[in-house]
A and B are shown apart, each in its own frame.
Chain A
Amino acid sequence: MTFLLILTEIKPTLWDDLLPTLISVTVVMAVFLLGRASDVSLRKKQSKQTWYLDVIIKPNINYLGTFIKEFETTSFDIKKQLTQNTKTLAHEKFLLLKAQQFKRLSALRNKFEFDFLYLLRPNSFRSVYDKMYSLTFELEDKLKVTLDSGSGDNIVEMLTEYKINALDTLYKPLEDSKRFSFSPNALKRFIMRLRKQ
Chain B
Amino acid sequence: MQPPVKIPLQKFRGHKSTLFTGRPQGESARKELKLDQKDTSNKMYTFIVPKGTTSINPSFFLGLLFKSIKKLSPNGFKKKYTFEFEEKENPEIVEILKQNIADAMRNAKNTLRDDDTFLLL
Contacts and interface: CB of A to CB of B under 8 A. Distances in A.
Interface of A: 92, 95-96, 98-100, 102-103, 106, 110, 121, 123, 126, 134, 137-138, 140-141, 144-145, 148-149
A98 B121 contact: no
Contacts of A138: 59
A141 B57 contact: yes
A99 B96 contact: yes
Contacts of B100: 106
Interface string B88-99: 011011001101
B55 A99 contact: yes
Interface stretch (B2-10, B12-20, B38-46, B69-77): B12-20
A106 B54 contact: no
Contact of B92 (A99, A134, A145): A99
Given A123-B121, A148-B17, A106 B55 contact: yes
Contacts, number: 64
B52 A95 contact: yes
Identify the 7 closest CB pairs spanning chains A and B, nearest first. A99-B54, A141-B21, A102-B55, A98-B54, A99-B96, A137-B59, A99-B93
Interface of B: 16-19, 21-23, 52, 54-55, 57-59, 89-90, 92-93, 96-97, 99-100, 103, 114, 117-118, 121
A106 B20 CA distance: 13
B22 A141 contact: yes
A83 B23 CA distance: 28
From A103, A121, A126, name the one whose CB has the most chain B CB atoms within 10 angstroms: A103
Nearest to A102: B55
A141 B90 contact: no
A98 B117 contact: no
14 contacts: A95-B54, A96-B92, A98-B18, A102-B54, A102-B55, A103-B96, A103-B99, A121-B114, A123-B117, A123-B118, A123-B121, A137-B57, A137-B59, A145-B19
Given A137-B57, A140-B57, A144-B55, A95 B93 contact: yes
A155 to B, nearest CB: 16
From B19, B97, B118, B121, name the one whose CB has the most chain A CB atoms within 10 angstroms: B19
Given A95-B93, A103-B55, 5 more contacts: A92-B90, A103-B99, A134-B23, A145-B17, A148-B18
Contacts of A140: 57, 59
Contacts of A95: 18, 52, 54, 90, 93
Contact of A137 (B58, B97, B121): B58
B90 A96 contact: yes
Nearest to B21: A141
A100 B93 CA distance: 8
